[in-house]
């Protein structure tokens, strides 16, 4: 913490909970971190030029923390004050307080989040994550468990996670790196980047492009008003179906990979840069066998070109 930030903190000794439910609004950033401790620690951070130390402490005291012993669940309700509503900030009514919230808790925990006008990041957790964010971003890093993130008006990031992931955003982009598990992705109003997924991928992007690199399972990917770019260094253990509307489909494969290509373009052309390919090819469609066949590869484009080449 630098000298431009004030802080206030509270800790709650607990029996290790099975789950945490967090309801928050108007905090600029909410960070949840798994630790080896046996307490839940809440910390409010505030910019000095916007708030005093007393303001920060008052915001922290307003956070409600309850424990449901029967359900083994802790519940945190945190709503940052509005400048126009709170006596804490009457001296600065023209300014909205800039507060961040940090929660440290036992690493083995399922987490359910509802956040409004806040961005949420979660790190080093062993458990299931369910996040619903409106007006902010959602970030999951080093989570060992299923991740579900639904966002309106922000981007989604999932990196170095172990377990299946279901990610959805309206009005933002999605980034996924190094996921060990199946991925189900939907993005509207942004693009998606997927790299290194040890599992199957289903991705649907509207209003942006899609880039995929390294998938070990089946791959089904589509983009509306954008292109689909795929690079596969090894053969996936499943079929591949790629489509784009008002965009191109570009696929790069290893030179020695066997594949059966079924490609059709409406309004563009089909190009395949494999000299040893056999089959039929025309300007807007191709049915080709590469290196004796193998990987089923179905490619479709409306209003764009299709290109298949070597890495």
For 61-80, write each residue's pLDDT tens digit. Answer: 778 888 776 667 788 888 77
User: Left, alpha or beta for 304 (phi > 0: left; psi -120 to 50: alpha)?
Assistant: beta
Question: Residue 52's pLDDT is what?
Answer: 61
| CA 254 – CA 311 distance, rounded (Å) | 5
* pLDDT at residue 81, as a whole number: 67
- All residue ranges of the chain with pLDDT < 50 are 1-3, 48, 83-96
SS3 267: coil
Distance set, CA 254 to CA 184, 274, 278, 295, 299 (Å): 26, 10, 17, 12, 17
Which helix (H) or strand (E) segment holds residue 57: the answer is helix 53-61
- Length of the chain in residues, anyone? 311
pTM of the model: 0.89
Question: Rounded distance, CA 294 to CA 271, Å?
Answer: 19
**Dihedral class, residue 191 (left if φ above 0, else alpha if ψ from -120 to 50, else beta):** beta
Domain boundaries along the sequence of the chain: 1-127
pLDDT score for 39 = 82
Structure confidence at residue 53 (pLDDT): 64
Model confidence pLDDT, tens digit, residues 94-148:
444 578 889 998 899 999 999 998 899 999 999 999 999 999 999 999 999 999 9
């Amino acid at each position: 913490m630098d000298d431009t930030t004030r802080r206030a903190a509270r800790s709650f000794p607990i029996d290790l909970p099975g789950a945490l439910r967090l309801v928050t609004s108007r905090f600029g950033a909410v960070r949840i971190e798994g630790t080896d401790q046996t307490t839940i620690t809440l910390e409010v951070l505030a910019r000095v030029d916007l708030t005093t130390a007393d303001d920060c402490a008052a915001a922290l005291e307003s956070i409600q923390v309850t424990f449901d012993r029967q359900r083994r669940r802790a519940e945190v309700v945190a709503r940052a004050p509005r400048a126009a509503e709170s006596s804490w900030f009457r001296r600065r009514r023209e300014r909205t307080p800039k507060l961040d919230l940090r929660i440290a808790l036992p690493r083995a925990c399922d987490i359910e989040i509802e956040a409004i006008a806040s961005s949420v990041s979660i790190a080093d957790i062993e458990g299931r994550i369910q996040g619903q964010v409106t007006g902010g971003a959602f970030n999951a890093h080093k989570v060992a468990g299923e991740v579900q993130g639904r966002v309106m008006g922000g981007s989604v990031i999932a990196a170095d996670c172990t377990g299946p992931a279901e990610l959805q955003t309206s009005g933002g982009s999605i980034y996924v790196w190094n996921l060990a598990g199946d991925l189900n992705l939907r993005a509207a109003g942004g693009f998606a980047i997927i790299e290194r997924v040890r599992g199957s991928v289903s991705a649907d992007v509207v209003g942006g492009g899609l880039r995929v690199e390294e998938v070990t399972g089946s791959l089904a990917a589509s983009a509306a008003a954008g292109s689909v770019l795929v690079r596969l260094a090894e053969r996936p253990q499943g079929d591949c179906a790629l489509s784009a509307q008002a965009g191109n489909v570009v696929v790069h494969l290893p030179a020695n990979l066997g594949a059966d290509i079924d490609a059709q373009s409406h309004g563009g052309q089909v190009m395949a840069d494999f000299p040893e390919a056999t089959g039929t090819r025309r300007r807007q469609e191709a049915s080709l066998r590469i290196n004796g066949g193998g990987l089923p590869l179905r490619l479709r484009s409306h209003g764009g070109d299709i290109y298949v080449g070597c890495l």
